Amino acid sequence: MRQEDAAIITAEEIAQGWDASIDKYEMRLRDRREKNAVLLVAEYRGKVAGYINIYPKSEWGAYAGKGYPEIVDFGVLEKYRRHGVGSKLMDVAERIAREYSDKVYLGVGLHSGYGSAQRMYVKRGYIPDGSGVWYCDKVCEPYAACCNDDDLVLYFHKELR
């Protein structure tokens, strides 16, 4: 990912009605400069179509601090879906994760906007980690109040070898 990719992705996400900000991508670029992340952007017919980030030693979520890579913030712009962009990004991300560990994990949102991602992860062999639902980066205790927003996630992992 380059700075100009971040600007294109942000503009395209806003155009498709998402609540997007370039700040997120600038943080990812900073993480890459600090050697904490690997950022990938996919093109389709010469246009930026999607992105994915790998944090080799993630400090968030269900496997925080255990040395497993996490796939974070994966997206394909709506007009480029159903062309294999997401599958290719996941293939490359998993290949990179395999360089660091035999396991990779990710968190996926639970509202319907994440439906296609939820199905794709299961088809690719990801299984829930068993820690339950997380909200705002913490396990959501049974019967606790939460909001079905982007911070409500379920963590999945996949064995890579």
Report whether 92 contacts 64 (CB < 8 A): no
Report the run of H or E that residue 30 belongs to, with start and end. helix 22-33
Give the residue from 161, 148, 146, 150 showing the smallest Cα distance to 107: 150
143 has a pLDDT exceeding 90: yes
115-122, long-range: CB < 8 A, 24+ apart: 116/81, 117/74, 120/86, 120/87, 120/90, 121/156
Band (128; pLDDT cuts 50, 70, 90): very high
CA distance 5 to 84: 20
Mean pLDDT of 39-67: 95
- pLDDT attached to residue 161: 82
Instruction: Give Cα separations from 79 to 50, 64, 119, 146, 152 (angstroms).
Output: 10, 34, 19, 32, 26
Using CA of residue 115, residue 110, residue 27, residue 70, what is the dihedral sign?
negative
Q: If you search the block for the tokens 């394909």, which residue do you land on?
A: 76
Q: Regarding the domain delimited by 3-159, which CATH topology (the fold level of the hierarchy) does it fall under?
A: Aminopeptidase (3.40.630)
